[in-house]
Structure 1
Amino acid sequence: MKSYQKLTTDSTQVPEAGEDNVDGRPLCHQKLSAWWLGGGLLMVAALLSGVTVWVLGQIWWSQHGTPPLAKCVSIPEDLRFDCYPERNTVVTQELCEARGCCFVDSEQSSGSTNGVPWCFYPPDFPSYTLGSVNETELGLVGFLTRKAKAYYPKDIEKLQLSVEFETDTRLHVKITDATSPRNEVPLEVPPVTKKEPFGLIVKRKTSGTVLLNTTMAPLFFADQFLQISTLLPSSYLYGLGEHRSNFLHSLEWNTLTFWARDVPPTESFNLYGVHPFYLVMEKTGAAHGVFLLNSNAMEVALQPAPALTWRTIGGVLDFYIFLGPDPNLVVQQYQQVIGFPAMPPYWGLGFHLCRWGYGSSNETWETVKAMRNFQIPQDAQWNDIDYMEGYRDFTVDSQKFGALPQMVEDLHKHGQYYVMILDPGISSTQPPGSYWPYDEGLKRGVFINNTQGEPLIGKVWPGLTAYPDFSNPDTHQWWLENLNRFHSIVPFDGIWIDMNEPSDFMDGSSEGCSQGKLDNPPYVPAVLGGFLSAKTICTSSRQSTSAHYNLHNLYGLMEAKATASPKAIKSDALIKLREKRPFIISRSTFPSQGKYSGHWLGDNRSSWKDMAWSIPGMLSFSLFGIPLVGADICGFSGSTSEELCTRWMQLGAFYPFSRNHNTQDEKAQDPPAFSPAARTTMKEALEIRYSLLPYLYSLFHRAHLQGDTVARPLFFEFPKDVATYSIDKQFLWGRGLLVTPVLDPGVDWVVGYFPRGLWYDYYTGSLVNSSGENLKMAAPLDHINLHIREGTILPTQKPGCCTVISRGNPMRLIAALSQNANAWGDLYWDDGESLDAFAKGDYSYLVFNVTQNTFTSAVLHSNVEATHVTVDVLTVYGVGEEPKIVTVNGKEWPFSYLTNQVLTVSDLQLSLSQGFSIQWK
């Protein structure tokens, strides 16, 4: 890179490779410059906010032909990018070389061939040429031209490249057809006003780390095959959901597929949702993220170079690059694009109970009464599809669930709530005039159509069904009216939307699918079943805005938006029905889903392995901006054991969304179904959760306000500690509470990693002074290990049988002192259900501090809700010497002090709405 020939420039000198400025000025203050470089690269460069960005236009002179074997063998196996990714095809040398690619079989390879492609791109494979480049307000626009025809049909010869530095920490790169519009995801991204130009490749100034480098393999952009590859700066890669895998992805020739699918969570399969976003921890401890805004079927191929290849069969290549550099900031920056999650109602953070197979409303009711009898906290009771008549939406089985309205009334009298399931499939087989949802939907034209313009008919639980087209605004109004009619019979409080990939037991439709390109694309990603309509509807189906081929992965999101959205065109569904915060849990999800719903991790199994898998699943959805997430506690399918369910209830008490749910024809797994000892342990775990709800609710407020994570991986708080990068059997709530569950049978101990610093046992205040090490801890069956990080103040509350009761109970504040005897915490408090409480100022916000042996509570904002709550106890962990005197607001106060350095001040009865000070000397 020493051979420069100047083409155009507004600078007065040519920069040396790696140089940061020209004329003594930062390059970000100059106009873009283009240069010829030795080696056939056209480069446009600029510098901004600590990041050097280059656009490299690769120029290729060779045409298709057989590459020399020596050139092919010389390419390291880790850097071999697959030229023949099609499955169900025996890749021969003839087929490979017909594409102009290298063919090296296992006998010619020097190392392991497990996953290494035999057919791969040579270094001079024909790609696109970067042509003219023009400045824009935010960056640049250029054109890419393919000089040699590619091997996929309808190859697009001219592309438009736009590069925009939308904010100081967000880079937006988009590649699309220069002449014809293509499918794009209608994501509402807040506008930006930044006007500082830049160029492309992305490299950190401080560390020299290259975040994005797409020069190692050719770009493809055909009508139904788009591909782009990049090297990664490290192997620490996270995100890319929804899949069952370790939180830290394996890059050993691993392919992840993105196509919403109804299937019990299984390793290596595409699951219910699609989230094409990844986060990488760099070797320096910095982090960055990349988001491909594309709703079509796709796959990501990972290889140990480390490198990554995106392949999608439609849309455009629309990338957002988030520069962090802290992993928490990466996730916040991502959510600035997709939207911050909704604030849940307070009761939604309580404990939920459900099963498919209660059999009747009376049996459901008896379960609720048993929970009350044993004083086990519960906020919401749910029903699965067995409450319906013939599994038809918006109906009630009058024989078995005739008392459902009375049960819901009883729940409400006891401060509890009711949630029921809805599936999108609307029964199409009832006699005309007998089933309003289908009759009216047919009249209004709200269903997805087949290629002949008639409603597509598939099959789900009620039998033959039609599918609402939630991309159609008219469908939103029809959906609201259905909800309103049902709510007048059963006044539900939340909705569980299931089967919304959408699921179809018929693989396509009752009439099959077309033979056209949408149902039979030239390339099919590695979807479960091998074809796109496996257990879903035909991709050629017609929706109001596009073919289902483009909208399939958006179906769950569009249904959630129609059900809950405050911005829906004609319906606000639950908001209009209840005039309170909606509570929605969805199975299928897509980026921005957190604005409308939470998510549960699907139809898991009652096994120890499935319990362990729930933690990386939960942490992944924290990255995706859906903090209200959890797994079916004790497992959905199969029968649990008492030991497994006890351990799972302890873990599930720390899912942000906590629900015990199981299937029909299996033994009950609600807490009253077990022995007194197990039932007591489950109750105690839930009481800990209810004690911590003020802290959890405050974490959700931060998630709603600025995109913080709730359940948090350890490396988010300790990004310099590489030992935390692969941990997915522990997690944090926020920055301050470490959860170490038991995930194995027959043990009374657990090993947990403690990053460097002070950690206090949540229950006793006993101190762990860690140098960054694994520690073995006692974990009898009635105990889950919890530790408070130094410098943390937790607001807790005496637990009640439900959140309506616990919200009025006195608070206990727990301060865990740092090594310099400081601590910090905060509390967000409102009525727990009103819409836009924060925006309207109807909330209280308090900040707690400990400095110089003084605890202070400062009220930064207050409303009437805080006047109903008192602070009764302050407990301080890590007080090195027994105080001689404690004062509360200057008045001497009795206290207790334990030898494990725990100070407790009780009977305070201080109003939460007024600031106070507690000092010890």
Structure 2
Amino acid sequence: MPSPASRSPPLLLLVPFLLLLLFSAASAWKKDEFRNCNQTPFCKRARGRKAHSVPSLSTADISISDGAVVARLLPSQPLRQATDGDDPESDTVPPRPLLLRISVYQGGVLRLHIDEDASAPRRRFQVPDVLLPDLDDRRLWLSRLSSPAAGSSSFYLAEGFEAVLVHDPFQIQVRRKGSGEPVLSFNSHGLFDFEQLRAKKNDDEDWEERFRGHTDTRPHGPQSISFDISFHGADFVYGIPEHASTSLALRPTSGPGVEFSEPYRLFNLDVFEYLDDSPFGLYGSIPFMLSHGARSSSGFFWLNAAEMQIDVLGPGWDDPAAPAKDRIDTVWMSEAGVVDAFFFVGHEPKDVLRQYTGITGTPAMPQEFAVAYHQCRWNYRDEEDVAAVDAGFDEHDIPYDVLWLDIEHTDGKRYFTWDRVLFPNPQEMQGKLAAKGRHMVTIVDPHIKRDDSFYIHKEASERGYYVKDASGKDFDGWCWPGSSSYLDVLNPEIREWWAEKFSFENYVGSTPSLYIWNDMNEPSVFNGPEISMPRDAIHFGDVEHRELHNAYGYYFHMATSNGLLKRGNGKDRPFVLSRAFFAGSQRYGAVWTGDNTADWDHLRASVPMILTLGLTGMTFSGADVGGFFGNPEPELLVRWYQLGAYYPFFRAHAHQDTKRREPWLFGERNTALIREAVHVRYSLLPYYYTLFREASVSGIPVMRPLWLEFPADKETYNNGEAFMVGPSLLVQGIYEERQKSVSVYLPAGQSWYNLRNGVSYAGGVSHKLEVSEDSIPTFQRAGTIIPRKDRFRRSSTQMVNDPYTLVIALNGSFAAEGELYVDDGKTYDFEQGAYIHRRFIFADLKLTSVNIHPANLGGKFPSDCVIERIVLLGLPSGAKKAVIEPGNREANVELGPLTLRGGSSPDAITVRKPNVHIADDWTLRIL
């Protein structure tokens, strides 16, 4: 595109046409617009290597320094420096050692760091501000190595585990102490390759890469890293989002008989109408993989924000004639960066998740309204349209909490502005929603319209706050506003400046009930290579975009979240939805799966996608209910609402070219079915909020694969069609049109209760169930207690003082447990102890409420809320009354429905109006 200075008025008339062309190019999946592995030199080179074909490295000068293992890695022959020619081994440089450092952290975490020494011509980029700042405080001080002269050195890692550094050839193993059984290994197949930086030999040497008319100058030459990681004792591996797949477990991408020919790609991209079953990378990247098997759980995380390609190797990849091995081998390939890798081992899979979120952060505790239902469309036209949609929800008795505005609400795609014709009174509009306890979200993207009359562009340009192109000028790319520049959010100063833009003084027309949506932050550049920013663009500290690409959206998300935090003087929790993400994004808000399509395959794929996000820290995630593209038939839309009501992030969204699809536009019966689905979510808000509290403390996701709760049950290991919500609810989606029945596997170890009618089903077997139009199969696990609120208001904020219902599903011992967490739903006062946290225990026909708020934390949260109903499933008949202590009060016991809305439930016994306070200690005995 021409520079701003060279534009003439006639050219300006072409801008809408050019944008239309660019949008068309980006608006649907076109395979040839994106690079594959063979078109990506570092991937092609690494993928072509066989086991032990790379010149080996050996360790030298091994010692303990500052409590860590340090050594030099020496090549057995001159290091290869790859070129794009046919003979990558023809170009060599004298051997130069690499520097190795191994650290151990509390909880069984091993960190491996490998980098070039000080003689390198340039410092390699290491991703900042992702790891928790207190990580070094949790480092264990290693005091000795065992048997360093015996070819390997071992040292303590965690209870039951040790780490072993093999000297020659270099290898790292994590194994079980005593038995020596391996759990994780690095470079056991000799595929570690580290392309060291060097100067060009002469001016004729061509380091440039070209793709579809774009040239990457690649001024620092090849600098890729690749290595193999083996997960021993694993039945499956999971993780490394984001990919659209109907399989929860990662399928092999290389090896005999493998269907996929491409590795899993981690490269944040704006992919419209993405394929529903592909290893191709989407909007976010988290280079964390975890494994699980009957004997082992482990994880591996590579802190690297450059493009990454990962192969999962099928059995026999190294020797098709050899018998299958009890491990899964993987190969990790990255264009740049350093080795900064973490190994996690645990006795249970939840241990691995705690370890990972222990270094990247647990998910932020959201405001309670954000856990409720969101209504979005690109775009609600004007203030009258907003008012009509808001009124429609009230008219049809459907609660909702948030209404969203996309890019059309702005003045010419200038973010932080309003179209004063369509939205002349934004504060009044937000105030009307807030009066019903509702909120608004507006979109703020990272591309800034290059318009000297736009104050944000003018200020950013004058201060030099934009990413630079390879020549050192402000990068100029095309996105929704036309000619745009992009903030260099790697720079902490610029992030602080951006955060200030969200103040009420700067964001004119915003109010305390307004929150933010970050879209297009991969970053998306319509006229860029692969619809993204050129890799040779320059960021703060002379960092190339190739080195931090996958973290760009992370830094933008961070800055926006901090902006809302500052706006409220640090008191209120922010809500920011981001499309792009990286490791650690869970600390700043929610994400969603991007531009899906209104078809059954995308409905099916949404579950493994969201489950995978949760396994990698991003528990606050969801998929666009109904599908972003296309027009869903009523049955698909209803089934999507019924499933989406259980997503951690529950939002309906649609493209501007789709037909309007507010819930009441599909006939009275479908409106009733959607209303019921939304009501289910609102009734379960106390349970969801309690689970978000657990996630914020432990890192265990809200929506969980079955194997996370049942790690010994092999039938659960690759089930991506059913999932757990917390430890208590199992949900099975319906993914086919006019489906009459479904097979549901209920994990072994206990019975399960159908939440529609209270009927009990045995665990450890699959049950063929008839499918009804009014719900999808949902079961409560025996031995659990779920808190609910069954009175429906216009929004969650209007339910704050409503009474609770406890649903108790008894196990074979007539026992059950559950928890309830309550705070003000908005501020950070809970960090000073202002919350209620109760554990409910049913045993020996007695229900007890126990305070589990730490006594030393202090703080108090007042609440007059009571429990108005207690529903017991699996209790033998004959109960006549309940006696409550203290006070020796009696309450009625009767057969009753599971919900206030009625329905057959012959196995349910209800205690009506015990009216015990949620904040108090009490006991209720069934007589």
Return the TM-score normalized by structure 2: 0.81
* Range that drifts further, 742-751 or 849-858: 742-751
SS in 2 for 1:903: strand
SS in 2 for 1:704: helix
Q: 2:527 aligns with which of 493, 498, 506?
A: 506
1:762 aligns with 2:755: yes
Q: In 1, Cα distance between the equivalents of 2:583 and 2:340?
A: 14
Counterpart of 1:744?
Answer: 736
Change (3 A) 1:120 1:592: closer
1:349 aligns with 2:365: no
1:555 aligns with 2:563: no
The answer on whether the counterparts of 1:740 and 1:786 sit within 8 Å (CA) in structure 2 is yes
1:811 aligns with 2:804: yes
The answer on whether the counterparts of 2:298 and 2:343 sit within 8 Å (CA) in structure 1 is yes
Change (3 A) 1:709 1:726: same
Counterpart of 2:292?
Answer: 281
Counterpart of 2:242?
Answer: 242
1:143 aligns with 2:72: yes
User: For 1:324-723, what aligned pairs fall within 5 Å after superposition?
Assistant: 324-428=346-450, 430=451, 432=452, 434-484=453-503, 485=505, 487-491=507-511, 492-507=513-528, 533-545=529-541, 546-565=543-562, 573=565, 575-576=567-568, 579-723=571-715
Q: In 1, Cα distance between the equivalents of 2:106 and 2:183?
A: 19
Q: In 1, Cα distance between the equivalents of 2:479 and 2:51?
A: 48
SS in 1 for 2:380: coil
Q: In 1, Cα distance between the equivalents of 2:97 and 2:436?
A: 65
Deviations 1:128-157 (A, max 9, x none): 122221024544111111132324268773
Q: In 2, Cα distance between the equivalents of 1:448 and 1:878?
A: 63
Q: 1:182 aligns with which of 102, 117, 124?
A: 124
Q: In 2, Cα distance between the equivalents of 1:398 and 1:231?
A: 58
Alpha-carbon distance, 1:231 to partner: 2.9
SS in 1 for 2:502: helix
Alpha-carbon distance, 1:229 to partner: 1.0
Alpha-carbon distance, 1:411 to partner: 0.3
The answer on whether the counterparts of 1:159 and 1:177 sit within 8 Å (CA) in structure 2 is yes
For residue 915 of structure 2, what is the amino acid of its counterpart?
Q
Deviations 1:866-901 (A, max 9, x none): 523111011111112422442122333321137944
Instruction: Give 5+ residue unaligned stretches, structure 1.
Output: 1-84, 102-116, 508-532, 566-570
For residue 185 of structure 1, what is the amino acid of its counterpart?
V
Q: 1:296 aligns with which of 282, 297, 306?
A: 306
SS in 1 for 2:920: coil
For residue 38 of structure 2, what is the amino acid of its counterpart?
R
SS in 1 for 2:127: coil
1:873 aligns with 2:869: yes
Instruction: Give 5+ residue unaligned stretches, structure 2.
Output: 1-35, 84-91, 145-154, 156-163, 166-172, 197-222, 255-259, 316-327, 897-904
Alpha-carbon distance, 1:348 to partner: 0.3
| Identical columns (%) | 29
User: For 1:839-858, what aligned pairs fall within 5 Å after superposition?
Assistant: 839-858=831-850
Counterpart of 2:194?
Answer: 221
Deviations 1:590-624 (A, max 9, x none): 00101011101101111111111110111011011
The answer on whether the counterparts of 2:109 and 2:345 sit within 8 Å (CA) in structure 1 is yes
Counterpart of 2:280?
Answer: 269
Paired residue total: 778
For residue 76 of structure 2, what is the amino acid of its counterpart?
K
Alpha-carbon distance, 1:749 to partner: 2.7
1:256 aligns with 2:185: no
Q: More relative contact order in 1 or in 2 (CA 8 Å, sep 6+)? A: 2
For residue 143 of structure 1, what is the amino acid of its counterpart?
R
1:158 aligns with 2:97: yes
Counterpart of 2:894?
Answer: 896
1:131 aligns with 2:60: yes
Q: In 2, Cα distance between the equivalents of 1:147 and 1:858?
A: 64
Q: In 2, Cα distance between the equivalents of 1:120 and 1:458?
A: 37
SS in 2 for 1:821: coil
Alpha-carbon distance, 1:398 to partner: 1.5
* Range that drifts further, 605-614 or 483-492: 483-492
Change (3 A) 1:88 1:839: closer
The answer on whether the counterparts of 1:742 and 1:749 sit within 8 Å (CA) in structure 2 is no
For residue 294 of structure 1, what is the amino acid of its counterpart?
N
The answer on whether the counterparts of 1:822 and 1:852 sit within 8 Å (CA) in structure 2 is yes
Q: In 2, Cα distance between the equivalents of 1:847 and 1:370?
A: 39
Change (3 A) 1:131 1:268: same
Q: In 1, Cα distance between the equivalents of 2:235 and 2:915?
A: 53
Q: In 1, Cα distance between the equivalents of 2:810 and 2:567?
A: 43
Q: In 1, Cα distance between the equivalents of 2:398 and 2:388?
A: 14
Change (3 A) 1:572 1:585: closer
For residue 161 of structure 1, what is the amino acid of its counterpart?
L
1:907 aligns with 2:913: yes
Change (3 A) 1:854 1:206: farther
The answer on whether the counterparts of 2:488 and 2:494 sit within 8 Å (CA) in structure 1 is yes
Q: In 2, Cα distance between the equivalents of 1:790 and 1:205?
A: 37
SS in 1 for 2:187: coil
SS in 1 for 2:848: strand
For residue 537 of structure 1, what is the amino acid of its counterpart?
M
Alpha-carbon distance, 1:122 to partner: 6.0
Counterpart of 2:112?
Answer: 173
SS in 2 for 1:406: helix
Q: In 2, Cα distance between the equivalents of 1:122 and 1:830?
A: 55
Q: In 2, Cα distance between the equivalents of 1:300 and 1:820?
A: 47
Deviations 1:850-873 (A, max 9, x none): 111100112344976552311101
The answer on whether the counterparts of 1:446 and 1:474 sit within 8 Å (CA) in structure 2 is no
* Range that drifts further, 905-914 or 132-141: 132-141
Alpha-carbon distance, 1:162 to partner: 1.6
Change (3 A) 1:786 1:218: closer
* Range that drifts further, 186-195 or 572-581: 572-581
Q: In 1, Cα distance between the equivalents of 2:564 and 2:515?
A: 14
Q: In 1, Cα distance between the equivalents of 2:566 and 2:441?
A: 12
The answer on whether the counterparts of 2:703 and 2:724 sit within 8 Å (CA) in structure 1 is yes
Counterpart of 2:220?
Answer: none
